[in-house]
Structure 1
């Protein structure tokens, strides 16, 4: 098995001058950065005093699950001779208290060539290959449609 290592930096940018002197005295803002890539502005969810204009960890986890599924799906389609011309996922995640309870992926896929039934089945294979889905302890369901 090949080991892959990833590196990034998360820099807190929310010190208003008094640090964490009180729960309401600091911003949850941070910047996610890595060499050669655009920075991602982050914060906590607004429910936790975060900035709604910045990405929060919950959204990034949802985005990671969706993107991982998409990347595997496109790879499997290419190998199977299915020509995908569009892919859009309206993913949704649900937290209950302090834990994710479920993610539902809803990819809408347009194909120009290939077996439609196989294109549907490949979503199951993509899910089985997705390292995010294999790494979490809650269900990630997929409700795809093919056009």
Structure 2
């Protein structure tokens, strides 16, 4: 049976979406990955773009509210931003919740002087999330 894991962020547009995509790609045999948000801001096109560069298609994923997954028995919920960590929905309280914060690429990209410079923020965070999913998520799932 696959472990059900939710990646939770504020708007479910970027970091949590990338984490879901990496989990499906790297650990799909053992993990059933989901992502959601405190709010639903839509799928960030730059997140889709940089994930495609890495060979992971997240274009079919959708931005959704955590409350839409209320009936799913998650074994692990990972908050990927501070706001989501501080405001994790109460119904998730029965699950094991772990906070692993990542920088916010859209926020960082606002100060970029070019589109390419802005994408570098997305790529760095994408790679940090990949490394977390590949190296640490299996440990977290095995240390129940």
Band of TM-score, shorter chain? under 0.3
TM-score (norm 2): 0.24
TM-score by length of 1: 0.23
When Rg is computed on C-alpha atoms for both structures, the one with the higher figure is 1
